[in-house]
Protein backbone atom coordinates (compact mmCIF):
# COMPACT_ATOMS: atom_id res chain seq x y z
CA UNK A 1 0.00 0.00 0.00
CA UNK A 2 1.47 3.34 -0.94
CA UNK A 3 1.44 6.25 -3.33
CA UNK A 4 3.46 8.10 -5.94
CA UNK A 5 5.35 11.26 -5.00
CA UNK A 6 6.88 13.08 -7.99
CA UNK A 7 6.71 9.83 -9.91
CA UNK A 8 8.46 7.79 -7.19
CA UNK A 9 6.65 4.99 -5.39
CA UNK A 10 6.50 5.29 -1.59
CA UNK A 11 5.15 2.55 0.63
CA UNK A 12 2.83 4.30 3.08
CA UNK A 13 -0.48 3.58 4.80
CA UNK A 14 -3.24 6.24 4.92
CA UNK A 15 -2.49 9.17 7.20
CA UNK A 16 -5.26 9.51 9.79
CA UNK A 17 -3.13 11.29 12.44
CA UNK A 18 -3.83 14.72 11.02
CA UNK A 19 -7.62 14.16 11.00
CA UNK A 20 -8.38 12.78 14.48
CA UNK A 21 -8.37 9.19 13.30
CA UNK A 22 -10.69 9.82 10.35
CA UNK A 23 -10.04 8.31 6.93
CA UNK A 24 -10.20 10.93 4.18
CA UNK A 25 -10.44 9.67 0.62
CA UNK A 26 -8.30 11.55 -1.87
CA UNK A 27 -10.22 13.05 -4.79
CA UNK A 28 -9.49 11.46 -8.17
CA UNK A 29 -7.20 13.72 -10.19
CA UNK A 30 -7.57 12.47 -13.77
CA UNK A 31 -10.97 13.60 -14.94
CA UNK A 32 -11.21 13.70 -18.74
CA UNK A 33 -14.27 12.31 -20.53
CA UNK A 34 -14.80 10.04 -23.49
CA UNK A 35 -17.62 11.63 -25.50
CA UNK A 36 -19.44 10.57 -28.66
CA UNK A 37 -17.89 13.40 -30.73
CA UNK A 38 -14.59 13.86 -28.90
CA UNK A 39 -15.50 17.25 -27.48
CA UNK A 40 -14.53 17.93 -23.87
CA UNK A 41 -16.90 16.57 -21.23
CA UNK A 42 -17.90 17.98 -17.85
CA UNK A 43 -14.25 18.26 -16.76
CA UNK A 44 -10.78 17.94 -18.29
CA UNK A 45 -9.68 18.05 -21.90
CA UNK A 46 -11.31 17.02 -25.17
CA UNK A 47 -9.88 14.60 -27.72
CA UNK A 48 -11.30 11.36 -26.34
CA UNK A 49 -13.82 10.29 -28.97
CA UNK A 50 -15.79 7.10 -28.39
CA UNK A 51 -14.33 4.46 -30.69
CA UNK A 52 -14.32 0.70 -30.74
CA UNK A 53 -11.16 -0.92 -29.34
CA UNK A 54 -9.54 2.40 -28.42
CA UNK A 55 -9.97 2.29 -24.62
CA UNK A 56 -8.74 -0.13 -21.97
CA UNK A 57 -10.00 -0.52 -18.43
CA UNK A 58 -7.75 -1.49 -15.51
CA UNK A 59 -9.75 -2.95 -12.63
CA UNK A 60 -9.58 -4.92 -9.44
CA UNK A 61 -12.40 -7.42 -9.01
CA UNK A 62 -12.23 -6.70 -5.28
CA UNK A 63 -12.83 -2.98 -5.55
CA UNK A 64 -16.38 -1.62 -5.33
CA UNK A 65 -15.49 1.45 -7.43
CA UNK A 66 -13.94 -0.61 -10.21
CA UNK A 67 -16.91 -2.98 -9.99
CA UNK A 68 -19.22 -0.14 -11.03
CA UNK A 69 -17.25 0.31 -14.22
CA UNK A 70 -17.30 -3.43 -14.96
CA UNK A 71 -21.05 -3.51 -14.42
CA UNK A 72 -21.65 -0.65 -16.85
CA UNK A 73 -19.38 -2.33 -19.39
CA UNK A 74 -21.74 -5.33 -19.26
CA UNK A 75 -25.02 -3.38 -19.05
CA UNK A 76 -24.10 -1.26 -22.04
CA UNK A 77 -22.73 -4.15 -24.14
CA UNK A 78 -19.23 -2.73 -24.24
CA UNK A 79 -17.38 -5.99 -23.68
CA UNK A 80 -16.15 -6.21 -27.29
CA UNK A 81 -15.47 -2.48 -27.47
CA UNK A 82 -13.48 -1.83 -24.28
CA UNK A 83 -10.79 -4.30 -23.20
CA UNK A 84 -9.95 -5.06 -19.56
CA UNK A 85 -6.99 -6.08 -17.40
CA UNK A 86 -7.50 -7.32 -13.85
CA UNK A 87 -4.95 -6.77 -11.08
CA UNK A 88 -4.10 -9.31 -8.40
CA UNK A 89 -6.27 -9.14 -5.26
CA UNK A 90 -3.18 -8.69 -3.09
CA UNK A 91 -2.33 -5.00 -2.77
CA UNK A 92 0.93 -5.08 -0.83
CA UNK A 93 4.13 -2.95 -0.61
CA UNK A 94 4.08 -2.03 -4.30
CA UNK A 95 0.35 -1.43 -4.50
CA UNK A 96 -1.78 -3.13 -7.15
CA UNK A 97 0.19 -5.70 -9.15
CA UNK A 98 -0.16 -7.65 -12.38
CA UNK A 99 1.16 -10.91 -10.98
CA UNK A 100 -0.21 -13.58 -13.28
CA UNK A 101 0.68 -16.23 -10.72
CA UNK A 102 -1.59 -14.52 -8.28
CA UNK A 103 -4.98 -14.15 -9.95
CA UNK A 104 -4.15 -11.21 -12.22
CA UNK A 105 -4.71 -11.33 -15.98
CA UNK A 106 -1.43 -9.45 -16.35
CA UNK A 107 -1.18 -6.04 -17.99
CA UNK A 108 -2.41 -6.78 -21.50
CA UNK A 109 -1.09 -3.51 -22.92
CA UNK A 110 2.44 -3.08 -21.54
CA UNK A 111 3.12 -6.19 -19.48
CA UNK A 112 3.88 -3.92 -16.50
CA UNK A 113 4.53 -5.37 -13.07
CA UNK A 114 2.60 -2.75 -11.10
CA UNK A 115 -0.30 -0.39 -11.70
CA UNK A 116 1.80 2.59 -10.55
CA UNK A 117 3.80 2.14 -13.77
CA UNK A 118 0.64 2.93 -15.75
CA UNK A 119 0.24 6.15 -13.78
CA UNK A 120 3.85 7.21 -14.43
CA UNK A 121 3.56 6.26 -18.10
CA UNK A 122 0.77 8.83 -18.19
CA UNK A 123 2.72 11.41 -16.15
CA UNK A 124 6.28 10.68 -15.09
CA UNK A 125 6.07 13.07 -12.12
CA UNK A 126 2.62 12.04 -10.84
CA UNK A 127 1.87 12.60 -7.17
CA UNK A 128 -1.10 10.83 -5.64
CA UNK A 129 -2.63 7.48 -4.83
CA UNK A 130 -2.66 4.78 -7.46
CA UNK A 131 -6.24 3.61 -7.62
CA UNK A 132 -8.51 1.44 -9.75
CA UNK A 133 -10.44 1.81 -11.95
CA UNK A 134 -8.31 3.48 -14.62
CA UNK A 135 -9.56 4.13 -18.15
CA UNK A 136 -6.65 4.22 -20.61
CA UNK A 137 -6.60 5.63 -24.14
CA UNK A 138 -4.61 3.25 -26.37
CA UNK A 139 -4.44 5.81 -29.18
CA UNK A 140 -2.92 8.73 -27.26
CA UNK A 141 -1.25 6.51 -24.66
CA UNK A 142 -2.66 8.31 -21.69
CA UNK A 143 -5.15 8.01 -18.87
CA UNK A 144 -8.63 9.34 -19.60
CA UNK A 145 -9.96 9.04 -16.07
CA UNK A 146 -9.44 7.42 -12.69
CA UNK A 147 -12.86 8.37 -11.33
CA UNK A 148 -15.45 5.60 -11.44
CA UNK A 149 -18.42 7.95 -11.01
CA UNK A 150 -17.41 9.65 -14.28
CA UNK A 151 -16.46 6.43 -16.06
CA UNK A 152 -19.93 4.92 -15.58
CA UNK A 153 -21.54 8.06 -17.01
CA UNK A 154 -19.28 7.87 -20.06
CA UNK A 155 -20.18 4.21 -20.52
CA UNK A 156 -23.86 5.06 -20.03
CA UNK A 157 -24.02 7.26 -23.11
CA UNK A 158 -20.82 7.93 -25.09
CA UNK A 159 -20.76 4.65 -27.02
CA UNK A 160 -24.50 4.42 -27.80
CA UNK A 161 -24.11 4.96 -31.54
CA UNK A 162 -21.47 2.25 -31.74
CA UNK A 163 -23.27 -0.41 -29.71
CA UNK A 164 -26.86 0.50 -30.56
CA UNK A 165 -27.62 0.12 -26.86
CA UNK A 166 -29.53 3.21 -25.71
CA UNK A 167 -30.46 1.99 -22.22
CA UNK A 168 -30.17 4.99 -19.95
CA UNK A 169 -29.23 4.65 -16.29
CA UNK A 170 -29.01 8.42 -15.76
CA UNK A 171 -32.13 9.68 -17.54
CA UNK A 172 -32.77 13.42 -17.54
CA UNK A 173 -36.09 13.22 -15.72
CA UNK A 174 -34.58 11.27 -12.82
CA UNK A 175 -31.30 13.12 -12.46
CA UNK A 176 -32.37 15.11 -9.40
CA UNK A 177 -33.58 12.00 -7.58
CA UNK A 178 -30.48 10.04 -8.58
CA UNK A 179 -28.18 12.82 -7.38
CA UNK A 180 -30.13 12.97 -4.13
CA UNK A 181 -29.80 9.22 -3.53
CA UNK A 182 -26.10 9.33 -4.44
CA UNK A 183 -25.64 12.09 -1.87
CA UNK A 184 -27.06 9.75 0.77
CA UNK A 185 -25.34 6.57 -0.41
CA UNK A 186 -21.84 7.77 -1.31
CA UNK A 187 -20.69 9.44 1.94
CA UNK A 188 -22.60 7.21 4.35
CA UNK A 189 -22.57 3.78 2.69
CA UNK A 190 -20.08 3.43 -0.23
CA UNK A 191 -17.40 5.48 1.46
CA UNK A 192 -19.03 4.99 4.88
CA UNK A 193 -17.83 1.39 5.20
CA UNK A 194 -14.27 2.56 4.47
CA UNK A 195 -14.50 5.43 6.94
CA UNK A 196 -15.73 2.94 9.54
CA UNK A 197 -13.09 0.31 8.78
CA UNK A 198 -10.10 2.63 8.41
CA UNK A 199 -10.92 4.80 11.46
CA UNK A 200 -8.11 4.76 13.98
CA UNK A 201 -9.95 6.27 16.94
CA UNK A 202 -13.07 5.02 18.71
CA UNK A 203 -14.88 8.32 18.12
CA UNK A 204 -14.16 8.38 14.38
CA UNK A 205 -15.25 4.74 14.09
CA UNK A 206 -18.51 5.27 15.94
CA UNK A 207 -19.39 8.41 14.01
CA UNK A 208 -19.24 6.70 10.62
CA UNK A 209 -20.71 3.46 11.98
CA UNK A 210 -23.82 5.33 13.18
CA UNK A 211 -24.18 7.27 9.93
CA UNK A 212 -23.80 4.05 7.92
CA UNK A 213 -26.65 2.23 9.65
CA UNK A 214 -28.93 5.28 9.66
CA UNK A 215 -28.44 5.40 5.89
CA UNK A 216 -29.03 1.65 5.44
CA UNK A 217 -32.22 1.92 7.50
CA UNK A 218 -33.29 4.76 5.22
CA UNK A 219 -32.64 2.57 2.16
CA UNK A 220 -34.76 -0.19 3.73
CA UNK A 221 -37.56 2.34 4.16
CA UNK A 222 -37.28 3.56 0.56
CA UNK A 223 -37.48 -0.02 -0.68
CA UNK A 224 -40.75 -0.58 1.16
CA UNK A 225 -42.55 1.69 -1.33
CA UNK A 226 -40.17 1.69 -4.31
CA UNK A 227 -38.99 -1.22 -6.39
CA UNK A 228 -35.73 0.67 -7.02
CA UNK A 229 -34.13 3.61 -5.23
CA UNK A 230 -35.67 6.30 -7.39
CA UNK A 231 -38.92 4.47 -8.19
CA UNK A 232 -39.86 2.08 -10.97
CA UNK A 233 -36.73 2.40 -13.03
CA UNK A 234 -33.39 0.79 -12.32
CA UNK A 235 -30.76 3.54 -12.43
CA UNK A 236 -27.15 4.37 -11.76
CA UNK A 237 -28.08 4.98 -8.10
CA UNK A 238 -28.97 1.29 -7.69
CA UNK A 239 -25.77 0.01 -9.27
CA UNK A 240 -23.67 2.36 -7.15
CA UNK A 241 -25.27 0.94 -4.02
CA UNK A 242 -25.09 -2.65 -5.26
CA UNK A 243 -21.28 -2.89 -5.27
CA UNK A 244 -21.16 -2.06 -1.55
CA UNK A 245 -24.12 -4.29 -0.61
CA UNK A 246 -22.66 -7.36 -2.32
CA UNK A 247 -19.40 -7.00 -0.31
CA UNK A 248 -21.09 -6.12 2.95
CA UNK A 249 -21.72 -9.46 4.66
CA UNK A 250 -18.55 -11.08 3.30
CA UNK A 251 -16.15 -8.30 4.21
CA UNK A 252 -17.48 -5.12 5.77
CA UNK A 253 -19.33 -6.77 8.67
CA UNK A 254 -16.17 -8.49 9.92
CA UNK A 255 -13.10 -6.76 8.49
CA UNK A 256 -14.46 -3.19 8.72
CA UNK A 257 -16.46 -3.83 11.93
CA UNK A 258 -19.74 -2.71 10.33
CA UNK A 259 -21.65 -5.17 12.45
CA UNK A 260 -24.79 -3.57 13.83
CA UNK A 261 -26.76 -5.53 11.25
CA UNK A 262 -25.97 -7.71 8.26
CA UNK A 263 -27.56 -7.13 4.85
CA UNK A 264 -29.16 -10.57 5.21
CA UNK A 265 -31.03 -9.25 8.24
CA UNK A 266 -32.71 -6.44 6.27
CA UNK A 267 -35.95 -8.02 4.91
CA UNK A 268 -36.16 -5.73 1.87
CA UNK A 269 -32.54 -4.86 1.06
CA UNK A 270 -31.59 -8.53 0.95
CA UNK A 271 -34.24 -9.26 -1.70
CA UNK A 272 -33.36 -6.13 -3.68
CA UNK A 273 -29.69 -7.16 -3.59
CA UNK A 274 -30.64 -10.54 -5.07
CA UNK A 275 -32.67 -8.92 -7.80
CA UNK A 276 -29.69 -6.82 -8.87
CA UNK A 277 -27.26 -9.73 -8.59
CA UNK A 278 -29.53 -11.82 -10.82
CA UNK A 279 -29.73 -9.13 -13.51
CA UNK A 280 -28.24 -10.56 -16.71
CA UNK A 281 -24.43 -10.61 -16.72
CA UNK A 282 -23.91 -9.20 -13.22
CA UNK A 283 -22.89 -12.42 -11.49
CA UNK A 284 -19.90 -12.76 -13.80
CA UNK A 285 -18.65 -9.31 -12.74
CA UNK A 286 -18.71 -10.38 -9.07
CA UNK A 287 -15.83 -12.47 -7.72
CA UNK A 288 -15.97 -13.40 -4.04
CA UNK A 289 -12.48 -14.89 -4.04
CA UNK A 290 -10.95 -11.55 -5.10
CA UNK A 291 -13.26 -9.64 -2.77
CA UNK A 292 -12.45 -11.53 0.42
CA UNK A 293 -8.81 -12.15 -0.36
CA UNK A 294 -8.07 -8.49 -1.15
CA UNK A 295 -9.38 -6.93 2.01
CA UNK A 296 -8.35 -9.57 4.53
CA UNK A 297 -4.91 -10.16 3.00
CA UNK A 298 -3.92 -6.63 1.97
CA UNK A 299 -4.83 -4.62 5.05
CA UNK A 300 -2.24 -6.07 7.43
CA UNK A 301 -2.76 -3.13 9.75
CA UNK A 302 -6.34 -4.32 10.35
CA UNK A 303 -5.78 -8.09 9.94
CA UNK A 304 -2.09 -8.85 10.67
CA UNK A 305 -2.49 -12.64 10.40
CA UNK A 306 -3.83 -12.26 6.83
CA UNK A 307 -6.15 -15.18 7.52
CA UNK A 308 -9.18 -14.99 5.18
CA UNK A 309 -12.51 -16.16 6.64
CA UNK A 310 -14.24 -19.09 4.96
CA UNK A 311 -17.80 -17.85 5.34
CA UNK A 312 -20.39 -16.60 5.16
CA UNK A 313 -22.44 -18.94 3.02
CA UNK A 314 -25.10 -16.89 1.25
CA UNK A 315 -27.10 -17.92 -1.79
CA UNK A 316 -27.49 -14.77 -3.91
CA UNK A 317 -29.13 -16.84 -6.64
CA UNK A 318 -32.18 -17.95 -4.71
CA UNK A 319 -35.48 -16.46 -5.89
CA UNK A 320 -36.23 -12.94 -4.65
CA UNK A 321 -39.63 -11.42 -3.97
CA UNK A 322 -39.26 -8.02 -5.66
CA UNK A 323 -41.33 -8.85 -8.72
CA UNK A 324 -44.57 -7.74 -7.07
CA UNK A 325 -43.37 -4.15 -6.71
CA UNK A 326 -44.53 -1.70 -9.32
Ligand X SMILES: N[C@@H](CCC(=O)N[C@@H](CS)C(=O)NCC(=O)O)C(=O)O
Among 41, 89, 106, 133, binds ligand X (CB under 6 A): 133
User: Is 258 a residue of the active site?
Assistant: no
b/e map 242-281, b = 16+ CB within 10 Å: bbbbbbbbbbbbbbbebeebbbeebebbbbbbbbbbebee
Q: What angle do CA 101, 298, 284 make, to 5 degrees?
A: 60
Q: Could you say whether residue 147 binds ligand X (CB under 6 A)?
A: yes
Q: 52 to 71, contacts with ligand X by CB under 6 A?
A: 60, 63-65
When asked if residue 23 is in the footprint of ligand X (CB under 6 A), the reply is no
Closest distance to ligand X from the beta carbon of 254 (Å) = 17
Looking at 124-132, 152-160, 219-227, 230-238, which segment touches ligand X (CB under 6 A)? Answer: 124-132
The total of other beta-carbon atoms located within 10 Å of residue 307's CB is 9
Catalytically annotated residue among 119, 194, 205, 272: 194
Cβ 177 vs Cβ 231: under 8 Å = yes
The C-alpha atoms of residue 138 and residue 136 are separated, in whole angstroms, by: 6
Q: Is residue 63 annotated as a catalytic residue, yes or no?
A: yes
| Largest CA-CA distance found in the chain, in angstroms, rounded | 56
Q: Is 192 in the site for ligand X (CB under 6 A)?
A: no
Residue 131 touches ligand X, criterion: CB under 6 A: yes
| Contact by Cβ (8 Å): 156, 72 | yes
State in angstroms the smallest separation of the CB of 66 from ligand X: 7
Binding of ligand X by 132 (CB under 6 A): yes
* Residue 87 binding ligand X, by CB under 6 A: no
Sheet with 134-137, edge to edge strand ranges: 82-86, 55-59, 134-137, 142-145
**Count, residues near ligand X per rule CB under 6 A:** 15
Give contact residues for ligand X (rule: CB under 6 A): 1, 28, 60, 63-65, 129-133, 146-149
Amino acid sequence: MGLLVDGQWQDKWYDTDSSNGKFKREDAQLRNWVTSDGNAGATGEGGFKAQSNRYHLYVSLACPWAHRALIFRVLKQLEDIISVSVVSPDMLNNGWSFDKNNHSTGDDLFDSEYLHQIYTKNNSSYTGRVTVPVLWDKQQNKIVSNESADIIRMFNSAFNEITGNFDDYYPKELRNSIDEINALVYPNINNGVYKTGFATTQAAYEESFDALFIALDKVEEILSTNRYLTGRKLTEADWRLFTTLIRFDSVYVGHFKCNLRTIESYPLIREYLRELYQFEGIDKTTDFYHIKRHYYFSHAMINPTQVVPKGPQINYKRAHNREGFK
